[in-house]
Amino acid sequence: MEAQPPALLSAPRMLTLVGSILVSLSSGTNYIYSAYAPQLGARLFLSHTQLNVIGLAGNVGVYLSGPAWGRVVDSKGPRIPLISAFACLLIGYLGIKGIYDNGAGTEISFMHLVILITCTFITGLAGNAGLAVAVNTTAKSFPETSRGTITGLVLSGFGLSAFFFATVASIAFPGDTSALLLVLGLGAAMPMLLGLVIVRQIPLPPPSTTLGIEGGLRGHEGYRPIPSGDAALFIHENDSNTSLLDPTELVHEAPNYHVPESSTAVELVSDRIISRGSSARRSASRARPVHDGPNVYGKQLWLTPDFYLIFVIMALLSGTGLMYINNVGSISQALYAKGNPNYDELEASRWQAAQVSTLSVCNFAGRILIGLIADLIRIRLRLPRAYCFCIVSTLFVVSQLSAISINDVAHLWKATALLGLAYGGLFGIAPTIIIDWFGLSHLSENWGYVSLSPLVGGNIFSLLFGRNLDSHASDDDTGTHSSLPLARRGGLPSEHQCFDGRDCYVSSLYVTVTACLIALVLSVWAGMRDQRKTAEAKREVVWDAED
């Protein structure tokens, strides 16, 4: 007799969830870059443009490897990505530590700069490998009704990574950048080995006919429970594989036709099943299981307009987020140095660390909250989850406007918190929308292609920010960029530091505000477009069921 899958709240499924969160927590270490980037620049005499190139290398590693890791996870499972992540994290962070330790007081050579960029790149490779495993495994181990919440919970670990490792390092080794890099190398790598043991896909239990239909119909006018033994619920009356009828299959037979997985579609078709059992049975003979939904991938994905819509929204918003995340340490130092005759490098580093921690915690919160909001919108309000993009885009716009208006480092946390919520919300909702639009079967592969979008926005906005900051930096003690006395300049962290406060970077923020406003318009369009498709799907279901 074949063993039954564990229950939804069983220990194996919960263990997989906890393991996936730990793997995700260890995969988001690129967000901590701002915690040590200014110190790296000061020790190795790096310009802001060079620091942004190094930071972008990690982002490139994360997002460029997305399609490859997606294919590996979908076809081979979690073992290969987790082993690779373990090795890459060790090599990457210990390599950065070695260059940092050996570069005191000397300008870095071109070869060492290349090695530094390469090490950062492979830490990005590790991050995406771990994240792909965590998201894919949990998405396939929990039902669709809780997928937004579960996915957001796992992704929240990714966002909390910077806060977790920065806190551990600051408590154990306060002010020691070399120790921080060691903690990153060892502390992030070990959970990947743990994931090899406890992170695995847990099959879903057989759907209950009562829950499978009643869950979508509770409160529906004219609803009557369907007996669990009703033959209309199954693909074939004599089929041993008891799969529920998929109403989306009744809508259209074209393989690329998109029908969002919605309870309203179940409602409409189920009334027809009750009153027209023979017609439903005829239709059921060509139905897919209810959990399949759309299945768009590969070449078909690149020919789908929805792919380019989500790609552009992600590029604009994630590019804004990456620019801020990679440079918030430099922003805080510029604001702290502005007109401050008593510059204290230790105090400046504390402000810098405070921004990184605030960003990380809010990133974490954003990923959880957006999952809850997405499921509320989807199940209670019966609107497409794509409308969550409107919420996220609005937060991005407000965060950038807030950053533009701030002149005091003591208030920078407000813009940082808003940006963290927005960025976490973006990456918390995007995989769920990809499932809604393109299906679950090739989630990791499709997410990998969409994850290429931050490379576009991230590279453009971050390099623009770095060049803008360098153009305001003082290269000698006779510059007029700051009101600080010449005697105090020796205590500043780098000869490339800008001391003009908000003026060092504000022009870059005007660009990102415009980008986020464009993304907001596209988000509204995406939600309306998805809602229109859902309405059309309902009409098609009614027409097919009446035939």
d(CA 213, CA 226): 8
Phi-psi label, residue 244: left if phi above 0, alpha if psi -120 to 50, beta otherwise? beta
Taking a C-beta distance cutoff of 8 angstroms, is the pair 457, 316 a contact?
yes
Q: Output the average pLDDT for the chain.
A: 76
pLDDT in tens, 6-47: 666 778 888 988 999 999 999 989 888 888 888 888 888 888
411 pLDDT higher than 90: yes
Question: What integer pLDDT is reported at residue 542 of this predicted model?
Answer: 65
Looking at residues 281-288, what average pLDDT do you find?
41
* pLDDT bucket at 503, cuts 50 / 70 / 90: confident
Buried b or exposed e, range 30-39, using 16+ CB within 10 angstroms:
bbbbbbbbbb
In sequence order, the 6+-apart residues with CB closer than 8 A to the CB of 232 are 226, 245, 273, 277, 280, 281, 284
Provide the pLDDT for residue 35: 82
359-375 residue pLDDT tens: 989 988 888 888 888 88
Distance CA 151, CA 440 (A): 13
Please give the Cα distance from 79 to 238 (Å, whole number).
Answer: 38
* pLDDT, tens digit, 9 for 90 and up, residues 57-109: 998 898 788 778 878 887 888 899 999 999 999 999 999 999 998 876 667 88
Q: Say if residues 457 and 318 touch (Cβ distance below 8 Å).
A: yes
- Would you state the pLDDT for residue 208? 57
The one-letter amino acid at 201: Q
In whole angstroms, give the CA distance from residue 134 to residue 138. 6
Q: What whole-number distance in Å separates Cα of residue 16 and Cα of residue 73?
A: 16
Q: Is the pLDDT of residue 131 over 60?
A: yes
Using alpha carbons only, what angle is made at residue 314 by residues 355 and 467, rounded to the nearest 5 degrees?
A: 55
Q: Taking the alpha carbons of 204, 206, 210, 214 in that order, is the dihedral positive or negative?
A: positive
Task: Give the tens place of pLDDT for each residue, 421-478.
Answer: 999 899 888 888 898 899 888 877 888 788 888 888 888 998 898 888 888 775 444 4
Question: What does pTM read for this prediction?
Answer: 0.70
Packing angle of the helix pair 506-546, 305-337 (nearest 10 deg): 150
Residue 229 per-residue DSSP state: T
Rounded Cα gap, residues 386 and 523, in angstroms: 7
Bridge partners (DSSP) of residue 244 are 234
